[in-house]
Amino acid sequence: MTGCGRTDSGVHANVYCANFRTNCTVPADRIPLAVNAHLPGDIAVSDAMEAPDDFNAISSCLQKEYVYKILNTKIRDPFLENRVCFYPRHLDISLMKAAGKAFEGTHDFSAVRSLGTPVKSTVRTVKWCKVEKDGDIISIYICADGFLYNMCRAIAGTLVYASCGKLCPEDIPSLLDKADRRLTGPTMPPQGLYLNRLWYEEPVGKMFTI
């Protein structure tokens, strides 16, 4: 089986894609029911289809969107335990939005990655980095053509640093140019991160159309 990516323990996925080859005669539309009977309660297969022979869940993915969720209130919510990052200090949404904009575009993202699996290039294109607030929940949406190890969590940490005045949003382009991980924000806890959206060409892309 080939999955569309892997990440740290504690991170979640609202969507995920995996491909495999099989001689099974069960119709594709019945596979979710068959597989879910053997899965734990916190994971479920929602759809299945026959894919082209050259389809690969990793290399065929056009872009991904992650969302990082922060519970920004002084009192934690026990029902959101391990589902958000609890952050009691007030966060300035306007500064976070400005900092997010600074990450958009094609850059070397070495300054917001952790050492992990070697990669051929640390250059990626961020399509958007948006910040929204709904009640006490702050959501950071990051869409890119690819992600480096801990990139989303480090970007989220940098936005938090900008909100706290530890760096200015307008400083971010120069920090990316310096490619020094020590100059940007911390890697936020994994519990707030979700793989949120996936893009593929048809016919597989139909399963992920919102």
Whether the Cβ atoms of residue 154 and residue 113 lie closer than 8 Å to each other: yes
* 8 carries an active-site annotation: yes
Please name the residues in contact with 201: beta carbons below 8 A apart, sequence gap of 6 or more: 60, 62
Token look-up 């892309």 returns: 205
Gap between the Cα atoms of 100 and 159, Å rounded? 7
Whether the Cβ atoms of residue 155 and residue 192 lie closer than 8 Å to each other: no
Gap between the Cα atoms of 13 and 29, Å rounded? 22
DSSP labels for 144-176? ES---TTHHHHHHHHHHHHHTTSS-GGGHHHHH
CA 125 to chain centre: 14
Token look-up 């920004």 returns: 72
Q: Which of 8, 92, 108, 171 is catalytic?
A: 8
* DSSP designation for 127: E
Catalytic residues: 8
